[in-house]
């Protein structure tokens, strides 16, 4: 084969792969909070089935402060965000609502995957938060970092957004102001990194907007105001027919924006108050849900959706029961799994038709769940606040195959890479591996 023909084959292969899914390295690692496909699934990871404090723990390290953001993984490092209160013991406590938060350090940690040792640490800012957080959360580091292997984004919301190279050199930073959250429920929305664009949703009670930043410079490319109050869901970016769209949940409206211009592509009736679960998508539908003061699930047919699609066949199916308040859904090979409220009550539906496989099945050892389910190797993993991770066989029937108990509790969702699971607890970060 000539050099020119070889180059042509390589370029064709890259072009086809970019249309069908993320690059191979992105598929292997866990670059953002819901994984390489923004669905909660890894197609390549093979995490253990069983573990305990004395079994299949590669390493366990204490993380100062507290955060409920998911760790991300790229190459040989794990990246974690945390907020460390000055002069306060690391005991997972929170500041009561109405009290003044103490001075905090907002910290980015890069941790070696092989040893659990800190490769580098950066303090982005040291100051007191302007508002308290929700008593159930108790942290000012709820947003997850994200990377494409060249740049690391560390979002601390009202404390700023920071971009580093992979060795910890600060590239740029930006401050979008202070969020004013209803009842001081706390911040915690994670932006989305898509190619060279960072999508930030800034929904609060004092002027909501969505903006897109250039990841190389931090420069704002466009901004659109939003008629919404607080949301926490991560925006979903997908590409169809050569056009990238950003889907954003809301209480008033669900909206899709053109990624390049900010133009409103389509919109429909909103979800419930306090939309927290992040949307997921397959090749046909986008699925959105929320579950505070009501229940709402919408499956939106992507092809041809334009303008106001309320009441049209673009809204393929809906559900008004048993949807989650905090945990995001898991979309795994045509099955969409989701929990009821924050309870260990699991449902699984055929994603295309909306027909239930099973509904509100109780996970007896996981009574309260804030973390979002993840899937790999034909299994579904669901960590709970009491430290138990339930493992189910992936499929249309409810089949529990393992229960794994650790001494810490979990609000952060797991990251799955190679033969490892990374679980960030209230106090510790675990690397679970056979």
Note the Cα 218 to chain centre separation in Å. Answer: 21
- Helix, strand, coil % (nearest 5) of the chain? 5, 45, 50
* Strands lying side by side in the sheet with 315-319: 280-281, 285-290, 296-301, 315-319
| pTM of the full structure | 0.92
Question: Residue 184 has which token pair?
Answer: 């001081």
Q: In the Cβ-directed half-sphere of 393, how many Cα atoms lie within 13 Å?
A: 7
* Mean pLDDT for the stretch of residues 291-298: 97
Average pLDDT, stretch 339-347? 97
Average pLDDT on 318-342 reads 98
What pLDDT, in 10s, does the model give residues 299-310? 999 998 999 999
- Confidence tier at 135 by pLDDT (50, 70, 90): confident
Tens digits of per-residue pLDDT, 352-374? 999 999 999 999 999 999 999 99
pLDDT digits (tens, 9 = 90+) for 211-262: 999 999 999 999 999 999 999 999 999 998 788 999 999 999 999 999 999 9
Alpha carbons 223 and 174: distance in angstroms, whole number: 15
Task: Give the other-Cβ count within 10 Å of 339's Cβ.
Answer: 31
Note the pLDDT of residue 98.
52
pLDDT value at position 23?
A: 66
pLDDT of residue 4: 38
pLDDT the model gives residue 6: 35
Q: Is the pLDDT of residue 291 over 60?
A: yes
Rounded CA separation 412/407 (Å): 15
Residue 92's pLDDT band (boundaries 50, 70, 90)? very low
Burial class (CB in 10 A: 0-12, 13-18, 19+), 7: exposed
Under the banding of pLDDT at 50, 70 and 90, the label for residue 186 is confident
Percent share of the chain, pLDDT over 70: 91
Query: Could you count the other beta carbons within 10 Å of the beta carbon of residue 167?
Result: 9
Q: Percent of the chain beyond pLDDT 90?
A: 82
Residue 60 to residue 432: CA distance in whole angstroms: 9
Measured CA to CA, the distance from residue 196 to residue 148 in angstroms comes to: 9
Residue 280 has pLDDT above 80, yes or no: yes
Q: How far apart are CA 315 and CA 311, in angstroms?
A: 7
Least confident of 96-105, 142-151, 396-405: 96-105
Residues 6+ apart with CB under 8 A from 190: 32, 33, 69, 143, 144, 146, 155, 234
- What confidence score (pLDDT) does residue 359 get? 98
Q: Are 398 and 346 in contact (CB under 8 A)?
A: yes
Asked if residues 200 and 223 have their Cβ atoms less than 8 Å apart, the reply is no
Q: What is the pLDDT of residue 184?
A: 82
What is the residue extent of each domain of the chain? 20-433
pLDDT at 137 over 80: no
Lowest-pLDDT choice from 67-76, 311-320, 326-335: 67-76
The band of 345, judged by pLDDT with boundaries at 50, 70 and 90, is very high
Res 393 pLDDT > 60: yes
Q: Quick check: 300 and 288 in contact, CB under 8 A?
A: yes
The mean of the pLDDT values for the chain is: 91
Q: In the predicted model, is pLDDT for residue 295 greater than 50?
A: yes
Q: Which residues pair with 349 in a beta bridge?
A: 336, 356
Task: Read off the pLDDT band of 131 (50, 70, 90).
Answer: confident
Q: What is the mean pLDDT of residues 117-146?
A: 88
Give the CA angle between residues 419, 421, 424 to the nearest 5°.
160
Q: What pLDDT score does 139 carry?
A: 82
Confidence of residue 134 (pLDDT cuts 50, 70, 90): confident
d(Cα 367, Cα 364) in Å, to the nearest integer?
6
What is the model's pLDDT at position 16? 32
Q: Are 337 and 329 in contact (CB under 8 A)?
A: yes
pLDDT tens readout for residues 380-391: 999 999 999 999
DSSP for 96-158, please give it: PTTSPPPPEEEEEEEEETTT--EEEEEEEEEE--SS---TTT--S--S--EE-SSEEEEE-GG
Q: What is the CATH number of domain 20-433?
A: 2.130.10.10
User: In whole angstroms, what is the distance from residue 360 CA to residue 352 CA?
Assistant: 19
pLDDT tens digits, one per residue of 6-29: 333 333 333 333 334 566 788 999
User: Rounded CA gap, 168 and 374, in Å?
Assistant: 29
């Amino acid at each position: 084969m000539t050099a020119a023909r070889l180059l042509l084959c390589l370029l064709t292969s890259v072009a086809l792969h970019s249309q069908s899914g993320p690059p191979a390295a992105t598929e292997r690692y866990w670059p953002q909070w819901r994984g390489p496909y923004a669905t909660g699934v890894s197609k390549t990871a093979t995490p253990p089935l069983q573990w305990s404090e004395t079994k299949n723990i590669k390493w366990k390290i204490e993380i100062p402060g507290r955060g409920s953001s998911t760790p991300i993984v790229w190459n040989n490092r794990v990246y974690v965000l945390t907020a460390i209160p000055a002069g306060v013991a690391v005991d997972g406590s929170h500041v009561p609502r109405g009290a003044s938060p103490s001075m905090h350090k907002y910290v980015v940690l890069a941790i070696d995957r092989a040893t659990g040792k800190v490769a580098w640490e950066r303090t982005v800012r040291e100051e007191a938060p302007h508002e308290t957080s929700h008593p159930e959360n108790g942290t000012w580091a709820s947003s997850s970092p994200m990377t494409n292997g060249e740049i690391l984004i560390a979002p601390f919301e009202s404390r700023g957004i920071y971009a580093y190279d992979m060795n910890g050199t600060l590239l740029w930073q930006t401050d979008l102001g202070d969020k004013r959250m209803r009842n001081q429920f706390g911040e915690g929305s994670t932006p989305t990194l898509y190619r060279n664009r960072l999508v930030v949703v800034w929904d609060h009670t004092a002027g909501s907007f969505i903006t897109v930043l250039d990841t190389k410079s931090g420069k704002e490319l466009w901004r659109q105001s939003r008629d919404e109050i607080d949301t926490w869901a991560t925006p979903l970016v997908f590409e169809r027919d050569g056009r990238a769209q950003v889907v954003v949940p809301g209480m008033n409206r669900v909206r899709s924006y053109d990624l390049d211009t900010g133009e409103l592509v389509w919109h429909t009736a909103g979800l419930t108050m306090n939309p927290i679960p992040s949307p997921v998508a397959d090749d046909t539908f986008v699925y959105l849900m929320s579950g505070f003061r009501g229940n709402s699930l919408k499956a939106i047919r992507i092809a041809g959706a334009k303008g106001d699609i309320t009441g049209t066949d673009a809204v393929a199916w809906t559900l008004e029961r048993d949807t989650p308040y905090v945990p995001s859904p898991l979309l795994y090979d045509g099955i969409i799994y989701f929990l009821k409220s924050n309870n260990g009550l699991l449902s699984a539906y055929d994603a295309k038709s909306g027909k239930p496989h099973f509904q509100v099945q109780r996970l007896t050892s996981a009574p309260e769940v804030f973390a979002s389910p993840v899937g790999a190797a034909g299994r579904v993993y669901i960590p709970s606040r009491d430290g138990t991770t339930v493992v189910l066989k992936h499929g249309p029937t409810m089949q529990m195959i393992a229960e794994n108990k650790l001494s810490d509790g979990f609000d952060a969702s797991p990251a799955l890479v190679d033969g490892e699971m990374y679980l960030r607890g209230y106090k510790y970060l675990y690397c679970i591996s056979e």
